Amino acid sequence: MPCLFFLLVLLLFTAFQGPTSFRVIQISSFANSTWAHNQGSGWLDDLQIQGWNSDSGTAIFLKPWSKGNISDEEVAELEELFQVYFFLFTQEIQGYASEFQLEYPFQIQGIAGCELHAGGSIVSFLRGALGGLDFLSFENDTCVPAPEGGIRSRIFCALIMQYKIAIYIVKKLLVEICPRYLLSVLYSGKAELQRQVKPEAWLSSGPSPGPGRLLLVCHVSGFYPKPVWVRWMLGEQEQPGIQHSDLLPNADWTWYLRATLDVAAGEAAGLSCRVKHSSLEGQDIILHWGHPISIGFIFLAIIVPSLILLVCLALWYKRRW
Ligand SMILES: *[C@@H]1O[C@H](CO)[C@@H](O)[C@H](O)[C@H]1NC(C)=O
Ligand SMILES: *[C@@H]1O[C@H](CO)[C@@H](O)[C@H](O)[C@H]1NC(C)=O
Ligand SMILES: *[C@@H]1O[C@H](CO)[C@@H](O)[C@H](O)[C@H]1NC(C)=O
| CA angle in degrees (0–180, nearest 5) for 77-82-86 | 155
Average pLDDT over residues 163-189: 94
For residue 6, pLDDT beyond 60: no
The response to whether residue 294 sits with its C-beta less than 6 Å from ligand 3 reads: no
Across-strand partners of 47? 44
Tens-place pLDDT, residues 211-232: 999 999 999 999 999 999 999 9
- pLDDT reported for residue 293: 47
Ligand nearest to the CA of 188: 3
| Minimal-distance CA residue to ligand 3 atom 7 | 180
| Minimal-distance CA residue to ligand 3 atom 14 | 69
- pLDDT reported for residue 89: 94
SS3 14: helix
Ligand nearest to the CA of 137: 2
The response to whether residue 183 sits with its C-beta less than 6 Å from ligand 3 reads: yes
Q: Which residue type occupies 56?
A: S
Q: How far is the CA of 171 from the centre of ligand 3 (A)?
A: 19
| Minimal-distance CA residue to ligand 2 atom 5 | 140
Phi, psi for 185 (deg, rounded to 5): -75, -30
Phi, psi for 60 (deg, rounded to 5): -110, 120
Average pLDDT over residues 8-19: 50
Tens-place pLDDT, residues 104-115: 999 999 999 999
- pLDDT reported for residue 301: 61
Q: Which of 112, 131, 82, 93 is nearest to 21 (CA)?
A: 112
Prior bond of 207 cis (ω within 30°): no
Terminal-residue alpha carbon distance, the chain: 76
Across-strand partners of 245? none
Question: Length of the chain in residues, anyone?
Answer: 321
The response to whether residue 121 sits with its C-beta less than 6 Å from ligand 2 reads: no
Q: Which of 199, 176, 163, 213 is nearest to 273 (CA)?
A: 199
Report residue 44 CA to chain centroid gap. 11
Q: DSSP string of 80-134?
A: HHHHHHHHHHHHHHHHHTTTTTPPSSEEEEEEEEEEEPTTS-EEEEEEEEETTEE
Assign 320 a pLDDT band (cuts: 50, 70, 90): confident
Ligand nearest to the CA of 125: 2
For residue 174, pLDDT beyond 70: yes
Average pLDDT over residues 172-193: 95
Average pLDDT over residues 248-263: 95
| CA angle in degrees (0–180, nearest 5) for 290-227-218 | 15
Q: What is the pTM of this model?
A: 0.78
Ligand nearest to the CA of 37: 1
Q: Can you tell me the distance from the alpha carbon of 128 to that of 109, in angstroms, rounded to the nearest whole number?
A: 6
Mean confidence (pLDDT) of the chain: 89
The response to whether residue 198 sits with its C-beta less than 6 Å from ligand 3 reads: no
Q: Can you tell me the distance from the alpha carbon of 230 to that of 244, in angstroms, rounded to the nearest whole number?
A: 8
Report residue 233 CA to chain centroid gap. 26
Q: Can you tell me the distance from the alpha carbon of 88 to that of 102, in angstroms, rounded to the nearest whole number?
A: 17
SS3 231: strand
The response to whether residue 140 sits with its C-beta less than 6 Å from ligand 2 reads: yes
Tens-place pLDDT, residues 74-105: 999 999 999 999 999 999 999 999 988 899 99
Residue of 136, 140, 141, 175 with the most ligand 2 atoms within 8 Å of its CB, for mutation = 140
The response to whether residue 180 sits with its C-beta less than 6 Å from ligand 3 reads: yes
Assign 16 a pLDDT band (cuts: 50, 70, 90): low
The response to whether residue 31 sits with its C-beta less than 6 Å from ligand 1 reads: yes
For residue 173, pLDDT beyond 90: yes
Ligand 2 atom at minimal distance to the Cα of residue 140:
1
